Structure 1
Amino acid sequence: MALSDTKLRSIHGKPYSGAPEVADTDGLGVRISPKGVVTFQYRYRWAGKPQRLGLGRYPALSLKDARALTSELRLLYDGGTDPRTYFEREKGQSVVTVKDCISYWQETYVDVALRPKTKALYESTVIKHMKDAFPNQNINDITVRQWMERFTAEEKINPRRARQLLTQLRSAINWCIRRQYIDTCSVMRISPKDVGCKPEVGDRVLTYNELAMLWLAIERSRAATSNKLLHQMVMLWGARLSEVRLAERSEFDLHELVWTVPKEHNKTKTVLRRPIFEQIKPLVEKAMLTYGDTMFPGQSMDTPITIAAANRYMARIKATLGIGEWRTHDFRRTLVTRLSEEGVPPHVTEKMLGHELGGVMSVYNKHDWLSEQKAAYELYADKIFWHVKKISG
């Protein structure tokens, strides 16, 4: 009788007293321990003797992937090749290093399945910081103690990043194990809670005075106009950085006074509409007058400012102000908090942030509350510019 995900889920991790082996098709089956540990295996005969290959454990290896792997093994068998050579071919070498594993994971998963922003995140963290760990050493020979010494050194540099690196590395190594690129790795025995600390949940809310100081610092900086306009609009709109950074001229309707963010630029993958209100309209017009289709170009007039360039600019601004720790994303929290203090209702501030409304409202209520958004944005901008005027005299 063929296996099913429903059957495997009902067995996995629970006391089991049934048959120790259950067959599927084409030689695929599972071996089940009394504790409900489910292991896929491929059975065949070679040179007249029965053979059994362990493929991986469920659910790390899904039934769908196990069947796909079995099909590849069956092709080898039917072609007169011992299926065991499949795994030797996948490894491709007797020594597999950390760099080899990360490169394999990047080539077969990160570059194939992930979005550009997620790929960039991995490239700037685990790929950058871990690919050269333990050079020329077989990954199977690296001990838990060696890994802990490595992550202890990372902790001294940045505790939060150390935990992030371990979590990401475990994901990469687990991918390699599931794909039979390596058999095992001792880093999987280290729990993320044993290294570093959790990233702090953001709770920074800027005051109007701090926002005014930031506005003036941006105005007085010697950065490119596109970078200055980018961050001023992000501050006033409370938009995600990339929603503004990737914006194109066609998104802005100065007749209807509406900015339409396409779903490709929005984290929720839905079209957003925000009002072009009184105080931000001159900034939009300036960007449209100065640049072409790309509203906020970087080094090339045809490509947007990169996230790295935008972050570097904000880091320089931050270093000159002395108002404590903050980041661009805190503009969103600040906008909602300050407008909530003024009595602006939550459904309006949620739309301003580009969030989906909860419950059945997300299904049936497609209203944008553009006029209410416009009034709230103008109230918020008035407060900021009053403090700008006060500081600048």
Structure 2
Amino acid sequence: MSGMKSRVRLTAGRVGDFTCPPGKSQTFLWDTEAPALALRVTPTGRKTYVFESRLSGATLRLNIGTAADWPIEKARGEAQRLKVLVDSGIDPRELERQQQADKAAAKDAATAKALTVGDLWPLYLENGRPKRRDTWKPRYRADLEAMAAPGGEKKKRGQGVKRPGPLFPLMALPLAGINEDTLKSWFDREALSGKHQAARALMMFRGFLRWCAARPEYRSLTDRDAGRAPAILESLPPNTRRVDKLMSEQIAGWWASVEQLHNPVHSAYLRALLLSGARREEIATLEWSRIDWRWKTITIADKFELTRTIPLAPYMAWLLDGLPRQGKYVFHSSGQHGYVKDARSSMERVLADCSVDHLTFHGLRRTFTQVARRIVPGGVPAQISGHKPSATAEGYNILTLDELRPYMAQIEAKFLEVAGVQFDAQAAPGVLRVVAG
């Protein structure tokens, strides 16, 4: 401050009697015991203790607090504390900002440390995605939700309520508390109800941990390798690869049993799976609008791309054309999904009738590949059935629809031959027919 400073030993009486002279915006009364402490008063009568000193050649003034809130001795002690800092070359303002930042960081850290798996799981479902895809496949997304569901809902089939999903016990745990010990304890408990289901849940949870570790805000809280601890890996069931498929000698019996099904939609659906090599959900969700009858193509959902288009061979065209138009899906169902969601009962009747011990829907896909590879170049079945990664490894060129069409016809003809079905592939559109043999 410029000019002479009025100094007295500040007392309660002097503080109470000090006023701002008329015509001034403020005036100061300086303390003799703490020379950097002053009482500032304004025309409104507001009285505030201030600290003033010099730091790096510049005047530094800070408010300490109002006279009503700060006793004189407390204000004097604060001024002396600030003076020590300034004399040490420390700016009290910067120190205060740093302290506030540290408090905020500590508060954020405490909040983050309290984040539970359940807090982040919905974000993972919304923003997470598998490799090479922009979004979850609907079925896998539904599985993720079911794995973490609390249960308690009435079963759609049978009596009672649904049990909690395998991952539900982890939802209440802090993310920072997920380590190999907690996961091992969780896995051992869940494995008592089914090792394979617990193992699948673990694989899904690993994806969640990878997602968390990839985000800066959660990285420090995440033990990405917790699910790969040796103690857990040793407890996993053997990862046996399924190899079920129809032998060539079994195709005719299987086909005949499928034709005898009372449900014509399921009958057509099972044959379409075999003739296309597609995954069951890809065929099940086929829509009428995705069939181009003029140019003989089908566009179906794809695991790696959004869709893929394959040729519509003659028998498949006849088979689909014979189905009733009841809704947008070709393989219509009166269930909530609108399409065939579960044809296991029909498959079980077929297998019992044709004396095949075991065959999954994916086994039909393997059967397609097995038969097709005997008669067409190896990359062709891969492209038709949507084995994009394997097809790339085999090093074949992606074929156009025109190039695929004769191969598709050959594959279909081979299946009909093995199944003992005589079919007039040259019949005009609209009058395609199966010829009894």
TM-score by shorter chain over 0.5: yes
Query: Counterpart of 2:266 in structure 1: which amino acid?
Result: N
- Quote the Cα distance in structure 1 between the aligned partners of 2:173 and 2:298: 53
Shift of 1:378: 1.2
Is the partner of 1:117 in helix, strand or coil?
helix
Q: 1:304 aligns with which of 339, 362, 372?
A: 339
Superposed counterparts of 1:258-297, under 5 Å: 258-261=296-299, 265-269=301-305, 272-287=308-323, 289-297=324-332
- Quote the Cα distance in structure 2 between the aligned partners of 1:323 and 1:352: 26
Change (3 A) 1:168 1:340: closer
Superposed counterparts of 1:179-258, under 5 Å: 179-180=217-218, 183=221, 188=227, 190-191=229-230, 192-223=232-263, 225-256=264-295, 258=296
Q: Deviations over 1:155-199 (max 9, x none)?
A: 454433333222323443565576449946795573452222343
- Quote the Cα distance in structure 2 between the aligned partners of 1:140 and 1:364: 50
**Which residue of structure 1 lines up, in the alignment, with residue 140 of structure 2?**
118
- For structure 2, which runs of at least 5 residues remain unmatched after alignment? 1-92, 130-135, 150-163, 423-436
- Quote the Cα distance in structure 1 between the aligned partners of 2:308 and 2:208: 35
Query: Counterpart of 1:350 in structure 2: which amino acid?
Result: A
**Which residue of structure 2 lines up, in the alignment, with residue 352 of structure 1?**
384
Partners of 1:162 and 1:195 within 8 A in 2: no
- Quote the Cα distance in structure 2 between the aligned partners of 1:247 and 1:382: 26
- Quote the Cα distance in structure 2 between the aligned partners of 1:135 and 1:302: 29
Change (3 A) 1:106 1:305: farther
Q: Deviations over 1:308-364 (max 9, x none)?
A: x245654565566652332111212212212333x3322433333244453775478
Partners of 1:278 and 1:378 within 8 A in 2: no
- Quote the Cα distance in structure 2 between the aligned partners of 1:106 and 1:146: 17
Partners of 2:278 and 2:365 within 8 A in 1: yes
Change (3 A) 1:347 1:221: same
Identity %: 16
Change (3 A) 1:220 1:87: farther
- For structure 1, which runs of at least 5 residues remain unmatched after alignment? 1-44, 52-75, 388-392
Query: Counterpart of 1:169 in structure 2: which amino acid?
Result: F
Give the structure-1-normalised TM-score. Answer: 0.61
Change (3 A) 1:231 1:183: same
Shift of 1:241: 1.8
Change (3 A) 1:346 1:198: same
Query: Counterpart of 1:208 in structure 2: which amino acid?
Result: S
- Quote the Cα distance in structure 2 between the aligned partners of 1:203 and 1:239: 16
- Quote the Cα distance in structure 2 between the aligned partners of 1:241 and 1:135: 32
- Quote the Cα distance in structure 1 between the aligned partners of 2:322 and 2:233: 49
Matched, 1:369 2:416: no
Is the partner of 1:274 in helix, strand or coil?
strand
Query: Counterpart of 2:139 in structure 1: which amino acid?
Result: K
Change (3 A) 1:134 1:222: same
**Which residue of structure 2 lines up, in the alignment, with residue 83 of structure 1?**
105
Partners of 1:259 and 1:275 within 8 A in 2: yes
Is the partner of 1:261 in helix, strand or coil?
strand
Q: 1:335 aligns with which of 348, 360, 368?
A: 368
- Quote the Cα distance in structure 2 between the aligned partners of 1:163 and 1:245: 27
Partners of 1:218 and 1:228 within 8 A in 2: yes
Query: Counterpart of 1:377 in structure 2: which amino acid?
Result: E
Change (3 A) 1:182 1:304: farther
Matched, 1:168 2:197: no
Superposed counterparts of 1:89-104, under 5 Å: 89-90=111-112, 100-101=116-117, 103-104=118-119
- Quote the Cα distance in structure 1 between the aligned partners of 2:171 and 2:139: 28
Q: What is the RMSD computed on CA atoms of the aligned residues?
A: 4.1
Partners of 1:297 and 1:303 within 8 A in 2: yes
Matched, 1:324 2:364: no
Change (3 A) 1:161 1:173: same
Higher mean C-alpha displacement, 108-117 vs 374-383: 108-117
Shift of 1:107: 0.8
Query: Counterpart of 1:130 in structure 2: which amino acid?
Result: P
- What is the aligned residue count? 303
The higher-RCO structure (CA 8 Å, 6+ apart) is 1
Shift of 1:139: 7.5
Is the partner of 2:245 in helix, strand or coil?
coil
**Which residue of structure 2 lines up, in the alignment, with residue 107 of structure 1?**
122
Change (3 A) 1:335 1:117: same
Query: Counterpart of 2:359 in structure 1: which amino acid?
Result: W
Shift of 1:246: 1.5
- Quote the Cα distance in structure 2 between the aligned partners of 1:149 and 1:195: 11
Partners of 1:126 and 1:168 within 8 A in 2: no
- Quote the Cα distance in structure 1 between the aligned partners of 2:368 and 2:398: 26
Partners of 1:219 and 1:228 within 8 A in 2: yes
Change (3 A) 1:385 1:261: same
- Quote the Cα distance in structure 1 between the aligned partners of 2:379 and 2:276: 16
